[in-house]
Amino acid sequence: MERMGTAHSGVETDWRRHADERLTDAGYRRGGARTALLDLLDVQRCARTVLEIEDELRASDRTIGRASIYRVLDELEQLHLVQRIEVGQGIARYERLAPDHHHHHLACKDCGAVIPFTDDRLEDAIHRLSAGAGFEVTGHDVVLHGTCAACRAAAAASVSTA
């Protein structure tokens, strides 16, 4: 049976099922906090901070302790089920790590938004580079810093107004 009803955009990654499997294989039991967190991560589109995760869980009446969020996210990162990224300001963000979908981020320095994007040429360059390097590369992380379209528009508008 195919899963459905998630907010994934077309491609069903089956991340949730894969995660359950990996967790079971690794000897983890099924706790309420972890389940709630997995459900949330499964539906999320892009990297979230722990505070955001906490708020969203509380909003859907599945409040769990902050320590549990950190602990579970750490486990999931060890199992390569989520990726931890930092786009500045020293606040960690987490997102699902799907084998078939990989993206990077633009961090808007005006509004703080984190916007995902993909680029094949970039991916290709990183793969070639990784293969030829003297070190073993297990993952990578690209962050573009700049201003998002909305903030650019807002800035332009305020200039013409002034």
The residues of the shown chain that bind DNA, judged by CB under 7 A, are 28-35, 49-51, 63-68, 70-72, 74, 90-92
Q: Considering only the stretches 3-11, 34-42, 54-62, 84-92, report the one whose residues sit in contact with a copy of itself under the rule CB under 8 A.
A: 84-92
Residue 139 interacts, among DNA, a copy of itself, none and using kind-specific CB cut-offs from 5 to 8 Å, with: a copy of itself
Angle at 142 between CA 20 and CA 69, to 5 degrees: 35
Closest CA to 111 of 70, 147, 140, 59: 147
Considering the complex, what minimum distance in angstroms separates the CB of residue 151 from a copy of itself?
8
Question: CA separation (Å) from 61 to 34, 57, 76, 103?
Answer: 15, 6, 22, 30
In the numeric block, which tokens belong to residue 36?
A: 């709630």
- Give me the residues that bind a copy of itself (CB under 8 A), please: 84, 86, 88, 90, 92, 106, 108-109, 115, 117, 119, 121-122, 124-126, 128-130, 133-149, 152
